[in-house]
Amino acid sequence: MNIILKIVIIRLCFWIGEDTESEQKSLITNGVFYAQFFNTGILIILVNANLKDQWFVGHHIKKLFNGLHTDYTPDWYIDVGLVILQTMVIQVFMPIVNTVKGFVVPIIKQKIDSHFTDDPYKTRSTSLAKYRAIYGGEEYLIHFKYSDALVIVYVACLYGIGIPLLFPIAAIALANTWLNERIQTAYQVVQPPAMDDTMTNNAMGLLKVAPIILLVNGYWMLSNRQIFANYW
């Protein structure tokens, strides 16, 4: 599902078009980030939300949101919070999986291309472009790296007040991403094209919203009386 969503967003971004490569990749970063964050951090709470007690919501909308939880109750943390925590734990190991895949998949392709020999000059490739695609490394998809890091930060800020374990898990995930990206850049991918600071400024602008989300949703989480009743 995520792969199909990324393909659709990329197609739309290329259809819109931008003047420079950096602006184009920034547009893709934003589109993929919004879709992934909604899928990871927002959709799960909407599916499980129950708005029957909300007087300001129309009756036709209440029919759509008839989940199990009306608020951040203790049961919500057991059912939904645990799923969010598991999703973030997976993000810790995904950079390692991508790094291992970046070493294993090219070796398999090269073995098949060379008739399972160690001779790089014995090849099935019928053109130089196909040969370079097998032995030259993959393209460095920096826009996806930005969007993944932004999703980790936003999910941690959205639910971190109520699920404090998200903060150290997010820190480990980002550190693990940094380490594995250095390995991938050095040994697996082709040299990225030179770009300006457009993508960095774009990411910094998006990160400014994360603390606001932390304060707003964090206040909502801490204001739940059932949570305090359990503590006291």
Q: pLDDT band for 226, please (50, 70, 90 cuts).
A: low
Cα(31)–Cα(1) distance, integer angstroms: 15
Residue 5 confidence (pLDDT): 58
Nearest to 112 by CA among 189, 101, 120: 120
Average pLDDT estimate for 143-161: 91
Residues 6+ apart with CB under 8 A from 213: 154, 157, 158
Note the pTM of the prediction, 2 decimals: 0.83
Q: Indicate if the pLDDT at residue 159 is higher than 90.
A: yes
> At residue 97, what is the residue type?
V
pLDDT reported for residue 173: 95
Specify the pLDDT at position 231: 47
User: Cα separation of 1 and 35, whole Å?
Assistant: 11
CB 142 within 8 A of CB 192: yes
For residues 114-125, give the mean pLDDT: 82
Angle, alpha carbons 131-134-137 (nearest 5°): 120
Task: Work out the end-to-end distance of the chain between its first and last CA atoms, rounded to an integer number of angstroms.
Answer: 43
pLDDT in tens, 183-203: 988 888 887 777 778 888 888
Residue 25's CB is within 10 A of a number of other CB atoms, namely 22
